[in-house]
Structure 1
Amino acid sequence: MRATERLDYIDGWRVVAIALVFLDHLGMNREIGAFYEASPLGVLSQYGETGVFIFFFISGYVVSLACLKEVAATGRFCAPAFYARRFFRIVPPLMLYLAFCLALGFSGAIDFSPDNFLSASLYLCNTTAPGVTCNWYVGHTWSLAFEEQFYCLFPVAFAFIELRKTPRALVAAAALLFATAPLLFTIWWIGKTGFFIAYALFFAGYAAAKHGPRVMAVLERWRLPALVVATAIVFMPRSVVASFGADEAAKADLIAYYRLLYVAAIPALVLLSGAANSSLRPLLSARPLSYLGRASYSIYLWQQLVNGPVFNDLGVAAQAALTAGLIVFCLALFQVELKIIAVGHRMSKRLQARAHSAAEPVLLPSREKEKVALV
């Protein structure tokens, strides 16, 4: 099975995740928000955070697959090459979005300040650190902040776990400090449980990339029941969970602790739906859906603008047209992003070649080679 085939259904899940975020944020529109409140379909607005948690697992899974493949092929892991790939994938689209918002802010079209720009560009919008200012237009970068903080920590952890390479104390301390910033300066609606869930999902992605095939083989007998249970857990409405609480504080605690189940349920849902004999895999792997999933990063960035205060008074038809236009714009923008991503991959390969040629190859134990080969 080619790697690209394996990842097609993952791109399908990216579409599901971004759709959950969209359905949540569309509730900012007054007409749509009123419809949510009056209709049972309003439950659709409760899964925005769930969509982000799905993204967290996917991120950990995809980057771990690439890193494990490098170790299997060379016996080494090049952290600078990893950072090059991540930089060219993440930073340029974010900077374009922030620069556009800054221009709109200077023109008076939206409420956006240089402080918003700086806080988001430093990936601090998931913290209440001193000086951090994140309004609506960058509020959604809390998820990007978690991802960037994870990407800074991951090479240190990965090199130690896979190659027993002890990191430099200063590098490890800096990565750990950045990664734990949201735990030290916690935002109330993320909470400390949200911090642990985020990192548990990131590293669940690593565990799935490393051991997923073996686990799937063991679970094959119970694949359908496990898939049903995982789906029920992930898509349990928050209102149902909260209904067991006696007061508002108890309801909030129930929701916070219930989310801990996502750590097992989201990986199970994603992997089981992508099993070779799953009827969901062809649907998630459909080419148009897969392409839309690959462009989901920019869609996630720019949807915050069209769902912002400026457009909250639009009618439903106008909001739908604006949303469709945004998706078309992001799909066109993705063509440019592909060229930038290619630059990052070329730089990554050069850095890998330089690092690997500068030292003797590290031979993995035969058992470790078998494990990596199964990824």
Structure 2
Amino acid sequence: MQYLRGIAVLAVVLSHSASFTSSAYHSPPLFGGALEFGRLGVDIFFQISGFVIAIVSLRETDLAPSIGVGRFLARRFVRIVPLMWIAILAFAALQWLGHVSGSGLGYLRTALLLPGPLIPSIVWTLRQELIFYVIFALSFLTGRRWRFVPILWFAAILLVPRGPQTLWSHDAPLALLLNLRNLGFPCGLFVALAWLRYSSLWRYRSPIEPLAILLTASALVIFIIVPAFKIDSGVGLILILVPLLLFAVHVECPPGLARRVGELFGNASYSIYLFHYPAISVLMVALRKVAPASPPAIIVVIVLILSTAVGIAAYFLIERPLLAGVRDRVARRTAEPTAAL
């Protein structure tokens, strides 16, 4: 699973690297714009999230909740929000240093994941994650009677009429709830439910290194098949991406260098996602000054490598110490009443 998570974030970074380079260097999109389909890494993230949240929150035997609503939401808050706030502050600081005026209300809206324009815009995916967390918690962690809610959500996303006036705006609450990109969450959830009930004991040992298979298959799907058939949203996209998820959750990953590399990128994927965007902004300014005539393809490679490196550094220097500190503080607070007894 960590392999696929790392591949997904690299696809997103590649997409942003290509689009920023085309804009900054006034060049046509590389490979006819195929690289910008790396944005579909977000859809892979959503499927992974739907799968993982169910796996860690439900019992294998009867799909009963293994965690309460309050504790579930608290864990999600600790995992997602503090690092997001740091990334928002870092982006705001860079904007200020670059003499770019930003809206204080916009930053506050982003920090609270409220409807409306976000600064930086990449935080939109975390707002969609929040919607899924609430729906999952209210449907699967409160008793069996509400488990049909994700099915209704899936159906509503598919059946709602679409058009410029239908959902008011793409940042309005109804539009956020029924965004087509949200289909990845219930899809991953349904895969997890089937996995828990029928196939959790089955593992596949690949004759070829799993990381190589996932890299090749993901590149083929994201950058060749999807652009060729112009299927970049809806059920068609979900069905194309599901085999990647199924392979990732069932394949055995042998120890070795490939596993260490794959797990590194998977573990650091959240930091890479949050910090690559401001890193690319700074790199574009610097590269236009020091290498104004460089081929765009070279610039994309440089930006991809350096912005990913910034994200990995943020993982080791910020995310891991931050999570360890927060979890240690929560553990001490939990233990205090027991110690007092």
Q: 1:256 to 1:328 in 2, by over 3 A?
A: closer
User: Which of 8, 13, 16 is the equivalent residue of 2:4?
Assistant: 13
In the other structure, the counterpart of 1:164 is 144
Q: 1:75 to 1:205 in 2, by over 3 A?
A: closer
User: Which of 238, 243, 247 is the equivalent residue of 1:263?
Assistant: 238
Deviation at 1:22, TM superposition (A): 0.7
SS at match of 1:69: coil
CA deviation profile, 1:226-285 (whole Å, cap 9, x unmatched): x9999865554554234xxxxxxxxxxxx466x4212233232211244246xx777997
Mapped partners of 1:123, 1:186: distance in 2: 16
**Is residue 283 of structure 2 the alignment partner of residue 292 of structure 1?**
no
Mapped partners of 2:56, 2:85: distance in 1: 25
Matches within 5 A, 1:158-237: 158-159=140-141, 163-164=143-144, 184-187=167-170, 195-212=178-195, 214=198, 235-237=223-225
In the other structure, the counterpart of 2:152 is none
SS at match of 1:37: coil
RMSD value, Cα = 4.5
Name the aligned partner's letter for residue 58 of structure 2.
Answer: L
CA contact (8 A) 2:13 2:308 kept: no
Name the aligned partner's letter for residue 132 of structure 2.
Answer: F
**Is residue 45 of structure 2 the alignment partner of residue 55 of structure 1?**
yes
Q: 1:263 to 1:133 in 2, by over 3 A?
A: closer
Matches within 5 A, 1:309-320: 311-312=284-285, 314=287, 315=291, 316=299, 319=303
CA deviation profile, 1:176-220 (whole Å, cap 9, x unmatched): 9xxx9xx945429xx9699454333212222222212636999x9
Deviation at 1:97, TM superposition (A): 1.2
Mapped partners of 2:4, 2:304: distance in 1: 22
Q: 1:83 to 1:285 in 2, by over 3 A?
A: farther
**Is residue 280 of structure 2 the alignment partner of residue 307 of structure 1?**
yes
Q: 1:92 to 1:28 in 2, by over 3 A?
A: same
User: Which of 134, 138, 142 is the equivalent residue of 1:152?
Assistant: 134
CA deviation profile, 1:281-316 (whole Å, cap 9, x unmatched): 779971232132112112111111022277256143
Q: 1:346 to 1:53 in 2, by over 3 A?
A: farther
CA contact (8 A) 2:169 2:175 kept: yes
Q: 1:230 to 1:301 in 2, by over 3 A?
A: closer
CA contact (8 A) 1:298 1:334 kept: yes
Q: 1:341 to 1:16 in 2, by over 3 A?
A: farther
Mapped partners of 1:120, 1:14: distance in 2: 24
Deviation at 1:15, TM superposition (A): 0.8
Mapped partners of 1:201, 1:281: distance in 2: 28
Percent identity of paired positions between Structure 1 and Structure 2:
22
In the other structure, the counterpart of 2:228 is 240
In the other structure, the counterpart of 2:323 is 338
Q: 1:293 to 1:344 in 2, by over 3 A?
A: farther
Deviation at 1:32, TM superposition (A): 8.8
Mapped partners of 1:99, 1:193: distance in 2: 24
Deviation at 1:340, TM superposition (A): 4.3
Deviation at 1:84, TM superposition (A): 1.1
SS at match of 1:261: helix
Matches within 5 A, 1:342-353: 342-343=327-328, 346=331
Corresponding pairs, count: 298
Could you list the runs of 5+ residues in structure 2 that have no partner in the other structure? 148-155, 161-165, 205-213, 292-298
Q: 1:289 to 1:338 in 2, by over 3 A?
A: farther
Deviation at 1:36, TM superposition (A): 7.7
In the other structure, the counterpart of 2:117 is 133
**Is residue 90 of structure 2 the alignment partner of residue 100 of structure 1?**
yes
CA contact (8 A) 1:11 1:294 kept: yes
CA contact (8 A) 2:35 2:223 kept: no
Mapped partners of 2:217, 2:11: distance in 1: 19
Mapped partners of 1:209, 1:74: distance in 2: 13
CA contact (8 A) 1:36 1:45 kept: no
CA deviation profile, 1:107-134 (whole Å, cap 9, x unmatched): 454443212212211213xx5xxxx333
CA contact (8 A) 2:6 2:266 kept: yes
Mapped partners of 1:75, 1:328: distance in 2: 34
CA contact (8 A) 1:15 1:292 kept: yes
Q: 1:276 to 1:293 in 2, by over 3 A?
A: closer
